[in-house]
Structure 1
Amino acid sequence: MNVFPVILCGGSGTRLWPMSRGGFPKQYLKLTSDCTLVQQTAQRLSGITDIARPIVLTNNEQRFLVAEQLRQVGVNPSSIVLEPVGRNTAPAIAIAAMLALQQSPDAVLLVLPSDHVIGNESAFVAAVNAATRLAHDRYLVTFGITPTEPNTGYGYIRTGANLIDGTSAYAVDSFVEKPNAETAQRFVSEGNYYWNSGMFMFAASTYLEELRRHEPEMAAHAEQALKAAKLDNDFVRLDAEAFSACPNVSIDYAVMERTERASVVTTSDLGWSDIGSWSALAALGHGDENGNTLLGDVMTDTMTNSYIRAEHRMVAAIGLDNVVIVETADAVLVAHRDKAQDVKKIVEALNASGRQESVTHRRVVRPWGSYEGIDQGERFQVKRIVVSPGAQLSLQMHHHRAEHWIVVRGTALVTNGETEVLLTENQSTYIPVGVTHRLMNPGKIPLELIEVQSGAYLGEDDIVRFEDTYGRVATA
């Protein structure tokens, strides 16, 4: 197996707020099917010959999220690498190349963002097969998408000489930054410009050779970060000091725009989208007779050309054209489709004001399951907690709050100070302030309970952990 998929999962996906957030970005959402985007990315690899188990790169906060989502679709990565800080794609791919070479001196990397949609998977496999031939000839390959419009949100690739007769494999003449509208229209008219998809394929050794030539400092720090890495259960924790010293540079700037071995495989029927905005997602939908894409509990009257998504409650819309409406449990976005890219301004304002709606949903995923805020007021807070079968929370204590637990479904094994008790449906327990406690689900079905917190301070940082299955630091 020489083809090593590299799935990049570190993005924050704020352009699809309020569904995509810093702590739960778009790659983990079911936006276009019953599978999340990262699950779709992993599943489409099955049609490629000589494929190895994927190498996944993510961050510490998302490690259990990506591991669980891949487990759900039967994908077992060879490595899940945790980046201590974001340093863009070039250092991350260098780490993946080094890991692949540990398994095979002839390793070829297929680098895939985790948040793209590809509608035609047979065309994807054909493009990968063409790129494999170039990679074996020591070319660094990117995948170019035939533009369907003069889009100013993508970088472009201008093709040069054909490299393999009868194929869509070309040398790269030049990479072009995101153009203005007039330039983008010219690119589409000329016909030899393609969108830069952000997907790549090359021999691991070729990439490292080019990286050491053009970014020797980055290559050296990445090598040291992996050499000093620590294994944490199924995760590879890169050395923070060494990896942080890597320049924050994309693969495009570090290598692809500087190498003499850049090539591109072009395709017109991939059905590709990076879902860079709500407008882009709306374009993927199948509109009704009025051009509307309606998802969830939605009622409309005289609505046209609009995308409306209800995640939590009924949404009614009347008399609007060309709008995006997205409803979640704690936020609603209403925007003109032409202004959907500007959602980032809302996210920036939320961050500046210290609000959490840009980072977390009302339902917060944890390695043991999830919790969801139901109600809160002065000196009290109510949560719905779900614990996965066989999972357990940390052994912990709170300085400022007491907790009442009421089991709604399943079985709870509760450590409460020196006492251990088994609770079933409709049974409850009380955890006083300062008492060490733990919650475990010993059953075969999810444990659901209601937690009522009371006290002077109810922040998630009032947790002192003594033991933890998941190796977390003393934060929620």
Structure 2
Amino acid sequence: MMAIIPVVLCGGSGSRLWPASREAHPKQFLAFTGDKSLFQDTLARVRGPAFDRPIVVTGSDYRFLVAEQMRAIGVKGEIVLEPMRRDSCAAIAAAAEIAKARDPQAIVLVLAADHAIPDIKSFLDHVARGAAAAEAGRIVVFGIRPSRPATGYGYIRPGATTAQAGVAEVAAFVEKPDQATAETYVADGYLWNSGNFLFRATDFLGELERLAPEIGRPVGEAVAKAARDLDFLRLDPEAFGRAVSKSVDYAVMEKTSKAAVVPSDFVWSDVGAWNAIWNLADKDENGNAAQGDAVFLDAENSYVHSPDRLTAVVGVEDVIVVVTRDAVLVVGREQAEKVKTLVARLSASGRKEATENLKVFRPWGSYDSIDQGTRHQVKRITVDPGCKLSLQSHFHRAEHWVVVSGTARITIDDKVGVYAENESVYIPLGALHRLENPGRIPLDLIEVQSGSYLGEDDIVRYEDIYNRG
């Protein structure tokens, strides 16, 4: 059997896991059950001789974060940038076109970047079953045997068995049910729709042309006209923008006669809300679980996410507490799905905490906001080894830099200096300047800004190796 090409869909905001997950740094890039992010865990599941280099489909805002997290675990692959969101079908179609160009007979495994599957061996056993059906021309979906009558998932009604062992035809896809209907579905042997797929690229694209040419044709054109930008492949925005926004279930899976399902027994979660994190976590004898520094007293079946500070909960049951540096969430476990509604309300009222983090990631590293007033702002800046910021200037602020650790090479107008730990430098208002890390360890420094305007848009870039505007 030829190597399978993994396709990882890496978009979405993960608002149900606020305040840890925000649009600027969504859940797929966060670690909830170990030291790797959900995205990195997804990539780790599809390493080895059975798999070819992955294709990751994401948005431009996440491109450097994707590249850095892939680099951190030693994975190389194609990073494809969507110009705008067009739901899952267009993203999958673009990846299928790229996979077909790599190998006309390519088998593609489509995975969401933000799902948790702890038992890798069992997962790979089910992929092998699905691959045999994909080679026979089927478009395969993985259907999870329900552990409970959940109302947050779509369901699949399996039909007759196919010629491939462990694979059934799809009799019907059904929408998310109410509680009573979900109980009936579970009793009748329905499966959760995991949203993960396996197929030959040519079979999927053929069905897309037949069933949804309003998606397939513009996406095909967007791939054909794609342009290279550093290590990324940018889909043509004009062509991609003409694709209809529709999920792959609506566009193809509910209409095709080639749909098949692998009834799957491996543990799976779409990590859709905080109660899902509690379900996945290791718990103490009272059913409590935590990530970070937490203390429980007379508490039961509760979860604390507090990576930056001690959080103590006393005398509570079935509660989730999430603590970040700028927000605290307290919610009943059974009400966790309502967090999405809360985030929408925060956004509508203009609260930046709804979407932005205090820690901001950049292609060269990151910065943390420590303190801010009307005419000053303090940041902690981390520059990765060998990286550098753009050559830039500011109209409205001056800056003071103090090196905390590592070595900084700093350009100020026509002078270049090297600064070590505990040394400082002043950047006058309007000066042309650049910060670089020439060393082999991260460079940490404290930046104090002062001036009449401190916004991130007060940056004029003259040279930028990351092709930012």
Asked if TM exceeds 0.5, the reply is yes
The Cα of 1:187 is off from its aligned counterpart by 0.6
Task: Give the drift of 1:294.
Answer: 2.4
Q: Structure 1 runs of 4+ off > 3 angstroms? A: none
Match 1:185 to one of 183, 186, 189: 183
1:298 pairs with 2:294: yes
Distance of 2:295 and 2:133 partners within structure 1: 52
Measure the CA separation in 2 of the matches of 1:312 and 1:71: 25
Of 242, 247, 263, 1:245 maps to 242
Q: Which residue of 1 aligns with 2:422?
A: 426
Larger CA deviation: 230-239 vs 49-58: 49-58
TM-score (norm 1): 0.97
Shift, 1:50, TM fit: 3.6
Q: Which amino acid aligns with 2:260?
A: S
- The equivalent residue for 2:349 is 353
Are residues 1:369 and 2:358 paired?
no
Q: Give the SS at the match of 1:384.
A: strand
Partner of 2:5: 4
Residues 311 and 329 in structure 1, CA contact (< 8 A), matched pair in contact too: no
| CA displacement 1:340-399 (0-9 Å, x = unmatched) | 111112211221122221222211111100100111112000000000000000111111
Match of 2:311 among 283, 308, 315: 315
C-alpha contact 1:2 1:104 (8 A) present in aligned 2? no
Determine the structure 2 residue equivalent to 1:23.
24
Q: Which amino acid aligns with 2:203?
A: T
Q: Work out whether 1:54 is the aligned partner of 2:42.
A: no
Give secondary structure in 1 for the equivalent of 2:284: coil
Quick one: distance in 2 between partners of 1:237 and 1:275?
29
SS at structure 2 position matched to 1:312: strand
Classify the secondary structure of the residue corresponding to 1:299. Answer: strand
1:96 aligns with 2:95: yes
Shift of 1:439: 0.3
Q: How does 1:202-281 map to 2 (within 5 A)?
A: 202-268=199-265, 270-281=266-277
**2-structure distance, mates of 1:399, 1:74:** 40
Aligned to 1:147: 146
Structure 1 residues 309-364: Cα deviation after superposition (integer angstroms, max 9, x where no partner): 21211111111110000111111110001111111122112211222212222111
Gapped regions of structure 2 (runs ≥ 5): none
2:386 alignment partner, one of 367, 387, 390: 390
SS in 2 for 1:46: coil
Per-residue CA distance 1:264-286 (angstroms, 9 max, x = gap)? 00112x11111111001101112
CA RMSD of aligned residues (A): 1.1
- 1:198 aligned partner: 195
Opposite residue 453 of structure 1, the aligned amino acid is Q
Structure-2-length-normalised TM-score:
0.98
SS of match in other structure, 2:308: coil
Question: Is 1:173 aligned with 2:171?
Answer: yes
Report the 3-state secondary structure (helix = DSSP H, G, I; strand = E; otherwise coil) of the residue aligned with 1:247: coil
8 A contact 2:80–2:232 mirrored in 1: yes
Deviation per residue, 1:55-82 (Å, 9 max, x gap):
00001111011111111111101x1000
* Structure 1 residue aligned with 2:463: 467
Aligned length: 468
* Deviation readout 1:221-263 (Å, 9 max, x if unpaired): 1011112211001100111111111111111011000101100
Gaps of 5+ in 1: none
Identical amino acids, percent of aligned pairs = 51
Task: Give the residue type in structure 2 aligned to 1:409.
Answer: S
1:380 is aligned, of 362, 370, 376, to 376
1:341 aligns with 2:340: no
Q: 1:2–1:106: 8 Å Cα contact kept in structure 2?
A: no
1:107 Cα shift? 0.4
Aligned letter for 1:237? R
Q: Say whether the 8 Å CA contact 1:162–1:170 is kept in structure 2.
A: yes
Counterpart CA distance in 2 for 1:468 and 1:358 is 30
Amino acid at match of 2:217: A
**Is the 1:4–1:110 contact (alpha carbons within 8 Å) kept by the matching residues of 2?**
yes
Q: Deviations over 1:82-141 (max 9, x none)?
A: 011010111111111111111111101100001111121111111111111111111100
Secondary structure at the aligned position of 1:296 is classed as strand
The answer to whether the 8 Å contact 2:32/2:291 transfers is no
